[in-house]
A and B are shown apart, each in its own frame.
Chain A
Amino acid sequence: MQVIAKRPETLTAEPFTYCPGCTHGIATRLIAEAIEEHGLINLMAGVAPVGCAVFAYKFFNFDMAEAAHGRAPAVATGMKRGRPNMHIFTYQGDGDLAAIGTAEIVHAANRGEHISIFFINNAIYGMTGGQMAPTTLAGMKTTTSPYGRNPDDIGYPIRMCELLASLVAPYYIERVSLLSPGDILRAKKAVNKAIQYNKEERGFTFIEFISTCPTNWGFDPDKAREWAKENMLPYYKLGVFRDKGEEVQ
Chain B
Amino acid sequence: MSKILMKGNEAVAEAAIRAGCRLYFAYPITPQSELIEYMAKMMPKVGGTFIQAESEVAAINMVYGAAGVGKRVMTSSSSPGISLKQEGISYMAGAELPAVIVNVQRGGPGLGDIQPAQGDYFQAVKGGGHGDYQLIVLAPCSVQEFADLASDAFDLADKYRNPVMILADGMLGQMMEPVEFKPAKTQEELEALANQHLSWCICPNADGDAKHHHEINSLELDPEILEKHVNKLYEKYAEIEKNEVRYESYNVSDDNEILCVAWGTAARVVKSAINELAVRGKSIGLVRPITCWPYPYEAIASAIGPKVKKVYVFELNSGQMVEDVKIAVNGKVPVDFWGKLGGIVFTPADIQAKLEACF
Contacts and interface: CB of A to CB of B under 8 A. Distances in A.
A63 B203 contact: yes
A71 B57 contact: yes
Interface in A66-87: 66-68, 71, 74-83, 85-86
Contacts, number: 131
A76 B70 CA distance: 14
Contact of A103 (B54, B95, B205): B54
Nearest to A79: B65
A43 interface: yes
Nearest to B64: A75
A182 to B, nearest CB: 34
A144 interface: no
A132 B25 CA distance: 33
B69 A82 contact: yes
A213 B326 CA distance: 56
Which has the most chain A C-beta neighbours within 10 Å: B88, B204, B214?
Answer: B204
Interface string A1-35: 00000000000100000000000000000000000
Interface in B65-111: 65-71, 73, 87-88, 91, 95
Interface in B185-220: 202-207, 212-219
Given A42-B206, A63-B205, A66-B219, A82 B71 contact: yes
Interface of B: 23, 25, 49, 51, 53-55, 57-59, 61-71, 73, 87-88, 91, 95, 202-207, 212-219
25 contacts: A42-B205, A42-B207, A47-B65, A57-B215, A63-B212, A63-B216, A64-B215, A65-B64, A65-B65, A65-B68, A65-B216, A71-B88, A77-B58, A78-B61, A78-B64, A78-B65, A78-B66, A78-B69, A79-B66, A81-B23, A81-B62, A81-B66, A82-B66, A82-B68, A104-B57
Nearest first, the 10 A-B pairs at minimum CB distance are: A78-B65, A74-B61, A78-B62, A78-B66, A107-B54, A82-B66, A75-B65, A42-B205, A71-B61, A65-B216
Given A68-B91, A83-B204, A85-B204, 19 more contacts: A43-B204, A54-B219, A61-B213, A63-B205, A63-B212, A63-B215, A65-B68, A65-B202, A66-B217, A68-B88, A74-B61, A77-B58, A77-B62, A78-B64, A78-B67, A81-B65, A82-B23, A82-B71, A106-B54
Interface of A: 12, 41-43, 45, 47, 54, 57-58, 61-68, 71, 74-83, 85-86, 103-104, 106-107, 111
